[in-house]
Structures are given as C-alpha cells and as structure tokens.
Amino acid sequence: MDTCVDFSSNLFKPYLSEEAQVNPECYGAELAWWLSRELAARGVETSYPNYEDWGWFVEYIVDDNEYWLCCGNVEGENNRWRVYLDRKAKKLFGRNKAPVEVAAPLLEALSVVLSESPDIQDIQWSSESA
C-alpha cells in the first residue's frame, strides 16, 4: 500500500517569516492545518497539528494504533510537498508497529482531499516514508 505522496501547490507557502519557522526552510504548518480541517470535513478525525524539527504532523489514533501523518516541503522548495504515514511502535525499540491496513481510511481520505483540490497538481504516490 502506498503511504507517501508528493505533490505541487502554491496553497501552502509559508506566510510567516523564516525566523518564525520550526527550522530554516522547514515548512508544512499551513499544509498540516489544511489537511486536519479537510480530513475532519470527510469524517476522518486527527489531532491538531504539532511539529518536530523536520516538519509538521497530525496524529491519527484507532484503538491502540497510533499514526502520524507527516507533512513538509521537499528540501529546498516551497511549493513541492510530501505527506507520509509514520506508523508508531506499540513497544520499545520500534517493535510491533501499528498495521498500515488500519490506517486505510486515513490514506483513502487523504487521496480524495488531494485529488479534489484544484490547487494541487502533480500528485505522485509511493511506498517511501521520508
């Protein structure tokens, strides 16, 4: 199952200065907030966006399975984006990761959200993770 998508869009360009970003040239806040709203509108509830040093994510939890939908720009670009599923481990040392099949509703909704937006082009799915 493809769990990573790259696409082009000017919709998510950062509107705050470079000094306000998580890290220099590390964008994705606008994308994460937009995805959270769009997914919720389709009945797929995530957390509010949060950030790490590499970019932004929203959490998706089903029973005891936790996933992060990670969002960020492709390095060196501010109109090329990547979103990928990070399956979180249920045990120490990364063992027993949440099964990708349980996240199928999230990935299906993500596909619909992206494909229905006229501001998003060049959508390419893959099984890469980062």
Average pLDDT over residues 106-128: 96
What's the pLDDT score for residue 129? 65
What one-character-per-residue DSSP string does 77-107 give? -SSEEEEEEEEPBSSGGG-SBPPGGGGHHHH
| Model confidence pLDDT, tens digit, residues 42-96 | 999 999 999 998 889 999 999 999 999 999 999 888 899 999 999 999 877 767 8
Rounded to two decimals, the pTM is 0.92
What's the pLDDT score for residue 90? 80
Distances (CA, A) of 103 to 27, 38, 69: 24, 17, 10
| Domain extent listing, the chain | 4-126
| Model confidence pLDDT, tens digit, residues 81-103 | 999 999 999 877 767 899 999 99
